[in-house]
Amino acid sequence: MALCSKCCCCCCLSKKASAKVCTWLYILYIAINIGYNFLRNGYQDTVTIISSILQGLIIFSLIVLLIGFKTLNRPCLKQFKWIFGAYVIVQLIMNVVIITIYSILYKNSTNKSVIEEYRKKLEIINLTDNQIINTIRTLAISAIVGVCLFIILTLTYYFTTRSYVNELVGEISELNETRKQESGEK
């Protein structure tokens, strides 16, 4: 049983509609992320290329899940638990690292070398040290809050959709058993 029966952004919809809408939203989010990475980096570094390939595989997995919703195909449904589950674990690890980095940045925001580095990055020399410290701290807190929200939404999506997938797989198994019994009786 999941934390709740429907994804948080679709609580007024049926379980099926909620799972479909949230899956499409997650596909859209990943596609936008791939596009943003391309525009920002132009796929010049290996990490961006590998990340985009993995995100493409997740989009493929989610499309297969949508096909499974429509056709009630057990393998299409069950792959979600393992593939997206692995993705969630990797995302959690990466996001814990990101939170740690921004926490360290927040802690070191009063360090002169950090202030000078950000003064160069911001390309604004007219800011006082206190303004730069406040900017760094705001950036760090915003990033930490954003990452925490992403983690919560991803976990909620995974657990609620996995719960729905488990229900569907159970229904498919019951349907198959009923068919076997009916064909054996005739």
Mean pLDDT of 89-93: 94
Mean pLDDT of 51-63: 93
pLDDT on residue 61? 96
Question: Which residues in 48-69 are b (16+ Cβ under 10 Å) and which e?
Answer: beebbeebeebbebbebbbebb
pLDDT above 90: residue 85: yes
Residue type, 149: L
pTM for this model (two decimals):
0.82
Is residue 115 a contact partner of residue 132, using CB atoms and an 8 Å limit? Answer: yes
pLDDT above 70: residue 27: yes
- Which tokens sit at 184? 């054996």
pLDDT digits (tens, 9 = 90+) for 131-157: 888 888 999 999 999 999 999 999 999
pLDDT on residue 111? 87
pLDDT above 60: residue 2: no
Confidence of residue 185 (pLDDT cuts 50, 70, 90): low
Q: How many residues in the chain?
A: 186
Mean pLDDT of 94-122: 88
pLDDT on residue 1? 37
pLDDT above 60: residue 21: yes
Report the mean per-residue pLDDT for the chain: 87
How far apart CA 8 and CA 116 sit, in angstroms, is 42
For the chain, domain boundaries: 15-185
CA distances 107 to 35, 46, 120, 136, Å, are: 32, 30, 20, 10
**DSSP at 111:** -
Long-range CB pairs of 13-20, under 8 A, 24+ apart, other chains included: 15/164, 15/167, 16/69, 16/164, 18/160, 18/164, 19/69, 19/160, 19/161, 19/164, 19/165, 20/66, 20/69
